[in-house]
Chains A and B, each alone.
Chain A
Amino acid sequence: MCGVCGCGSDAPVAHEVVHAHRHAGHGARRLEVEASLLAHNRAHAEQLAERLAARGIDAIGLVGGPGAGKTALLEATLGRLGADAAREAVVEGDCATDYDARRVAAKGARVVQVATGSLCHLDAHLVGHALASLDLDGVRRVWIENVGNLVCPAAFPCGERRRVALVSVPEGDDKPEKYPALFAGVDLLVISKSDLLPHVDFDVARCIDGARRVSAGLPALVLSARTGEGLGAWLDWVGR
Chain B
Amino acid sequence: MHEAGLCVSLVELAERHADAAGAARIVSVGVAVGDLSGVVPEALALAFPLCAAGTRADGAALRIERIAGRDFLLRDLEVE
A→B interface (CB under 8 Å): 11, 13-17, 19-25, 27-38, 40, 118-121, 151-156, 180-181, 184-185, 214
Given contacts A17-B45, A28-B27, A29-B23, contact A185 B70 (CB under 8 A): yes
B59 and A20 within 8 A (CB)? yes
Tell me the bound Cα distance from A36 to B31 in angstroms: 10
- Docked-complex contact A11 and B78, CB < 8 angstroms: yes
Residues in B17-65 with C-beta less than 8 Å from chain A: 17-18, 21, 23, 25, 27-28, 31, 35-39, 41, 45, 48-49, 59-64
Number of interface residues of B (CB under 8 A): 42
Bound state CA distance, A14 and B31, in angstroms?
11
Task: Tell whether, in the assembled complex, residue B38 and residue A152 are in contact, meaning their CB atoms are under 8 Å apart.
Answer: yes
Which residues of A sit under 8 angstroms from B59, Cβ to Cβ?
20-22
Asked if A13 and B72 sit within 8 Å, CB to CB, the answer is no
Inter-chain CA distance A187–B75, complex, in Å, is 30
Q: Can you pick out 7 interface pairs between chain A and chain B where the beta carbons lie within 8 Å of each other?
A: A14-B63, A16-B63, A17-B45, A17-B48, A31-B79, A35-B17, A40-B9
**Number of A-B contacts defined by CB within 8 Å:** 134
Whether A30 pairs with B60 at a CB distance below 8 angstroms is: no
- Would you call A35 and B74 a contact (CB within 8 A)? yes
A37 and B72 in contact (CB under 8 A), knowing A16-B64, A29-B23? yes
With A13-B28, A22-B27: A35-B60 Cβ-Cβ less than 8 Å? no
A154 CA to B63 CA in the complex, in Å?
A: 23
B interface residues with partner A (beta carbon < 8 Å): 1-2, 5-6, 9-10, 13-14, 17-18, 21, 23, 25, 27-28, 31, 35-39, 41, 45, 48-49, 59-64, 70-80
**Are B27 and A16 in contact, CB atoms less than 8 angstroms apart?**
no
Given contacts A28-B80, A154-B36, A181-B37, are A37 and B45 in contact (CB under 8 A)? Answer: no
Instruction: List the 7 closest A-B pairs by CB distance, nearest first.
Output: A155-B38, A21-B61, A14-B63, A181-B36, A154-B38, A27-B80, A31-B77
A11-B27, A21-B60 known; A33+B75 contact, CB < 8 A = yes
| Residues of B contacting A27 in the complex (Cβ-Cβ under 8 angstroms) | 80
Q: A16 with B36: in contact, given A31-B18, A119-B2 (CB under 8 Å)? A: no
Q: Which of chain A's residues have a CB closer than 8 A to the CB of B62?
A: 16-17
Q: Which residues of B sit under 8 angstroms from A34, Cβ to Cβ?
A: 73-76
- From the candidates A15, A16, A29, A40, name the one contacting B21 in the complex (CB within 8 A): A29
CB of B31, distance to nearest CB on chain A (Å):
8
Q: How far is B38's CA from A121's CA once the two chains are assembled, in angstroms?
A: 11
